[in-house]
Chain A
Amino acid sequence: DADVTQTPRNRITKTGKRIMLECSQTKGHDRMYWYRQDPGLGLRLIYYSFDVKDINKGEISDGYSVSRQAQAKFSLSLESAIPNQTALYFCATSDSYRAQYFGPGTRLLVL
């Protein structure tokens, strides 16, 4: 079984709709992250959480919110989706100084 899972893997939604992307991990890591990937821009950090009570904005948090329901779960919400939020979204986890381990990604299309 995968250590970091994301649901859904693909999603098509309409402008103005609220959607939630979910991430779960079985690695036992405290740190979790949400990134978005756009062609030619690499990955950019949306939000990160170092434990259940610690949530921080990344470089592109506008239009997004997150919830850390448990150590193993970190959800990303788009309150009112817009077309320029069409992207590939990755969840990642890490423990202390180790590498970040990424989920398989969620492809989101906002029409």
Chain B
Amino acid sequence: AQKVTQAQTEISVVEKEDVTLDCVYETRDTTYYLFWYKQPPSGELVFLIRRNSFDEQNEISGRYSWNFQKSTSSFNFTITASQVVDSAVYFCALRSAGGTSYGKLTFGQGTILTVHP
């Protein structure tokens, strides 16, 4: 069975601080995909990034960066110089590439990030 754990239920920071959101996953599959989604107060789910299990290169996109480590089954997300607009719920998700779980996303419980001015 697949499982995604986001141990941080809520994080509160002051604007311009860096913040890291943790994500730990469990799967027996050798090929899988990891995702991060953002859910702002308006409620929609915004896709941020997809990562393949065979590509452990870290990725940076503007103020966002992702650290994927297979050895620790983690896919952490860092926001540099946070801004009030980053306030949202962030979800980490896992999807297998085959078998009976093919195509289905397993979500973590989400981390509520609040950035104060």
Residues of A within 8 A of B (CB): 31, 33, 35, 40-45, 48, 50, 58, 88, 90, 92, 94, 97-105, 107
**At the interface, yes or no: B55 with Cβ under 8 Å from chain A?**
no
Please, which residue of chain A has its CB at the minimum distance from the CB of B95? A100
A-B contact pairs, 8 of them (CB 8 A): A31-B103, A42-B108, A50-B103, A88-B43, A99-B47, A102-B45, A105-B44, A107-B43
Minimal beta-carbon separation of A100 from chain B (angstroms): 6
Which listed residue (B97, B105, B109, B110) contacts A100, Cβ 8 A? Answer: B105
Task: Provide the residues of chain B in CB contact with A90, threshold 8 Å.
Answer: 45
Interface residues of B, Cβ cutoff 8 Å to A: 4, 9, 33, 35, 37, 43-45, 47, 50, 91, 93, 97, 103-105, 107-110
State whether B105 touches A45 (Cβ < 8 A). yes
Q: Would you give the shortest CB distance from B88 to chain A, in whole angstroms?
A: 14
Given contacts A43-B91, A94-B103, whether A101 and B97 have CB atoms under 8 Å apart is no
Given contacts A42-B91, A45-B104, A99-B35, contact A105 B109 (CB under 8 A): no
Smallest Cβ distance from B100 to chain A, in angstroms?
9
Contacts of B4 in A (CB 8 A): 42
Task: Please measure, in the bound complex, the distance between the C-alpha atom of A69 and the C-alpha atom of B33, giving whole angstroms.
Answer: 29
B103 engages A40 (CB within 8 Å): no
